Structure 1
Amino acid sequence: MIETRAPGKLYIAGEYAVVSPGQPAVLVAVDRCITVRLTESEGAGRIHSSEYGQAPLVWRRKENGEAIVLEHRPADYVLSAIAAVEELRAARGAAPRYFDLNISSELDDADGRKFGLGSSGAVTVATIAALDRFYSLELTPTERFRLALLATIAISPNASGGDLAASTFGGWIRYSSPDRAALRAHREEHGVVSALECSDWAGFSARRITPPSSLDLLVGWTGSPASTEHLVKRVHTPGTGAAPGADAPAAADANPRPFASFTAESHALVDDLVAACDDDDAEQALQTIGRARTLLQRLGFTSGSLIETETLRRLCEIAEDHGAAAKPSGAGGGDCGIALAPNHTDAQAILTGWEAEGIRPLPLSAHREEGEIDDF
């Protein structure tokens, strides 16, 4: 049996902007994972996952042994990951084989509600890692990331790939995305092997950073799921007014700013956060997180999107009342908020305050770093 694990992720800064090619974000991989267990099989392959109910998803090959056929084909990241690896496997001359996958997750609660920690990205990364070992492809971490992104954008063309980078490389990273539309078009025309090495990866970058040693990461889950794809689409087609029930943030202009202005400001604050990490400057990091929250508030107001819900607002205010800096993580609209708290802060008081508001503290730490990040 082959077993692989891929961690979930949290956005620290740069969400929304990172969807634009070349725009940076800071993410952290967390120590809760998706686990994929692969065993070789004969005659058919099966995918066991709670996502499919009690019965496994069964797949077979066509007579030529290459193409995979399903009784029904959901738009699924696991199947897209399998298809991408199978295309690469065939191009490298490895013989096709059947296999079963058993998928389990630590990225949701006992009732199956997702915490918003990037389960789709983690399962894609873990599936590709398992098949890499199964077929002895000997991919580097960066090659596995690229294959995972090609598989993901076949299902979700606007996905930035930040979750995939965190799940692949672990730790804290600064990430910027390539032009996914160009990559998708290249793969459709030239195939996955060519797409892995083409020039359309120019905007992609990933490098490790280390947060200030005097700051602790606190995470709270609102219990309310959010649709990242829906929120990102709404922000990119902004309306003319605030989201229902939203008040204009103090820093908001009378007229909505274009998204290009938002991305420029986001780029600057991500650079400032990375510099604070490199310099072990806790005060600068806290100030940057505060700026990031204000920027998201303004984006939500000008686009008519409820990025910072009432529960997320209370999460931030409670953390700030105790000397920490806090903001929504990811697309907002629910899911998780994060706080950076100085070591001398009464972290338990923050967590207790969150619980009083119905916010569930998640005991998360950064997942270990996973191999080298290739620059090619």
Structure 2
Amino acid sequence: MLSKGHVLLITAQAPGKLYIAGEYAVVENGFPAIIVALNQFVTCSVEESKDFGSIVSRQYNENSIYWRRQGDEMVFDNRDNPFHYILSAIKITEQYARSLDRDLRLYHLKIDSQLDSDDGKKYGLGSSAAVTVATVKALCEFYQLPVNQNMIFKLAAIAHFEVQGNGSLGDIAASVYGGWIAYHSFDRQWLAQQRQYLNLPQLLELDWPGLNIEQLNAPANLELLIGWTGSPASTSTLVDKVSLVKAREQLEYQTFLAESRKCIQRMIEGFHQANVKIIQNEIRYNRELLKNLSSFSDVTIETPVLTKMCEIAETFGGAAKTSGAGGGDCGIVAIDRQTDLTDMFEQWTKNKIERLRLTVHVIKQSVTE
């Protein structure tokens, strides 16, 4: 927390993420995935203001918006804006602040994201989740709300879900807890129902059905490599497409879910044993499961460029697959840290695959659970 003259200035950040395994299955209640937080961040700063508030992003300079208070409501000069996740995070956090009898104030909120490149390339690192988490964290500090990581996760999950309406919220968990996590998704239909009857303090106190988040320690000799294909993909659109085949291909879909769960459970055990070979084997198996899902759902998950990236990595002993919804964006490789990767990266470059030089970001818990 900084003080600028007598004006309160608070800064919070949240890391981006990539899925390692368990994609698509994790959108079903209680199903697991493994996700990792990365050292690229969304930063949110909040500065108290006297006359009016603003929301500004370096990425959306032409779309800065200004607002005033009318009672507890925010009144905007301009409703046509790209800040849906930020506004939802503000709404939910301020609802929580009011439930704790905090007076709502005016402030300037600034967002700066490293998750897309300066020329606007989208890498698929979960920017909507990270901006939601960073905004919630900054405003919780601004209003001095008594929160821990679990509560920040729940506030950000509610805010994100109310905008997107689908997805597992695993990217929110990665942005809140950091490092490597095993994430079991909760029942979002239950959440939507409870929102109608319970206030936020009650909802934050409850155990959410199916939710489980476990921090994992990666083996010392595990190296995570990330390759970007140059073409962005829409996660929510791809998830919607796959959901359409659930009824039509029910048996195959249920088989996919059951095999994905077993695969991720074995991979978690690989982390517990610090065994890179187990982790690699399950990454390869998860890739095959996703290929099969792609085949019976008729949704392109592994694009030709991602296939090439994986094939090159495999020749160097790496276990590789798509990350997240696929359809473009990034692929991941789990490989032994001792491997000489010079030739591999040269082959990636020849095939227009950009290595993203990102590392795992670990977050220390700021509040004792």
TM-score, L = length of structure 1: 0.91
- RMSD of equivalent CA atoms: 1.9
**8 Å contact kept, 1:174–1:208:** yes
In 1, Cα distance between equivalents of 2:367 and 2:166: 23
Are residues 190 and 73 of structure 1, via their aligned partners in 2, closer, same or farther at CA, if it must alter by over 3 Å? farther
Report the equivalent of 1:276: 270
1:69 aligns with 2:75: yes
Q: Alignment partner for residue 339 of structure 2, among 327, 331, 345? A: 345
Are residues 146 and 293 of structure 1, via their aligned partners in 2, closer, same or farther at CA, if it must alter by over 3 Å? same
Report the equivalent of 2:233: 226
Q: CA deviation at 1:67?
A: 1.7
Report the equivalent of 2:95: 87
In 1, Cα distance between equivalents of 2:213 and 2:56: 32
Aligned residues: 359
Q: CA deviation at 1:354?
A: 1.0
How do residues 95-244 of structure 1 correspond to structure 2 at under 5 angstroms? 95-199=103-207, 201-238=208-245
**8 Å contact kept, 2:291–2:302:** yes
Residue identity matched to 1:314: K
TM-score, L = length of structure 2: 0.93
Q: Alignment partner for residue 22 of structure 1, among 27, 30, 48? A: 30
Report the equivalent of 1:248: none
Q: CA deviation at 1:186?
A: 1.5
How do residues 350-361 of structure 1 correspond to structure 2 at under 5 angstroms? 350-361=344-355
Report the equivalent of 1:294: 288
In 2, Cα distance between equivalents of 1:99 and 1:89: 15
Q: CA deviation at 1:194?
A: 2.8
**8 Å contact kept, 1:257–1:302:** no
Report the equivalent of 1:245: none
**8 Å contact kept, 1:25–1:174:** yes
Residue identity matched to 1:265: E
SS in 2 for 1:2: strand
**8 Å contact kept, 1:174–1:207:** yes
Q: CA deviation at 1:38?
A: 1.1
Residue identity matched to 1:202: P
Residue identity matched to 1:72: R
SS in 2 for 1:277: helix
Report the equivalent of 2:4: none
Report the equivalent of 1:251: none
Q: Alignment partner for residue 62 of structure 2, among 34, 50, 54? A: 54
In 1, Cα distance between equivalents of 2:322 and 2:367: 28
Residue deviations 1:236-284, cap 9 Å, x none?
112999xxxxxxxxxxxxx885322211111111111110111011111
Are residues 226 and 40 of structure 1, via their aligned partners in 2, closer, same or farther at CA, if it must alter by over 3 Å? same
Are residues 197 and 335 of structure 1, via their aligned partners in 2, closer, same or farther at CA, if it must alter by over 3 Å? same
1:261 aligns with 2:267: no
Residue identity matched to 2:233: A
Residue deviations 1:193-241, cap 9 Å, x none?
3322345x12111011112222210000111000101111111112999
- Higher mean alpha-carbon deviation, 348-357 vs 102-111, is at 348-357
Are residues 24 and 240 of structure 1, via their aligned partners in 2, closer, same or farther at CA, if it must alter by over 3 Å? closer
In 2, Cα distance between equivalents of 1:154 and 1:196: 16
Q: CA deviation at 1:189?
A: 3.4
In 2, Cα distance between equivalents of 1:302 and 1:159: 20
Are residues 368 and 61 of structure 1, via their aligned partners in 2, closer, same or farther at CA, if it must alter by over 3 Å? same
**8 Å contact kept, 1:341–1:347:** no
- Give the gaps of 5 or more residues in structure 2: 1-8
SS in 2 for 1:363: coil
Are residues 69 and 258 of structure 1, via their aligned partners in 2, closer, same or farther at CA, if it must alter by over 3 Å? farther
SS in 2 for 1:48: strand
SS in 1 for 2:300: coil
In 2, Cα distance between equivalents of 1:8 and 1:191: 29
Residue deviations 1:12-66, cap 9 Å, x none?
011111111100100010001001111001222111014543242112222x2x1
In 2, Cα distance between equivalents of 1:176 and 1:104: 30
SS in 1 for 2:62: coil
Residue identity matched to 1:15: E
Q: CA deviation at 1:338?
A: 0.2
Residue deviations 1:113-167, cap 9 Å, x none?
2110000000100001000110000210110000000101110121211111110
Q: Percent identity?
A: 40
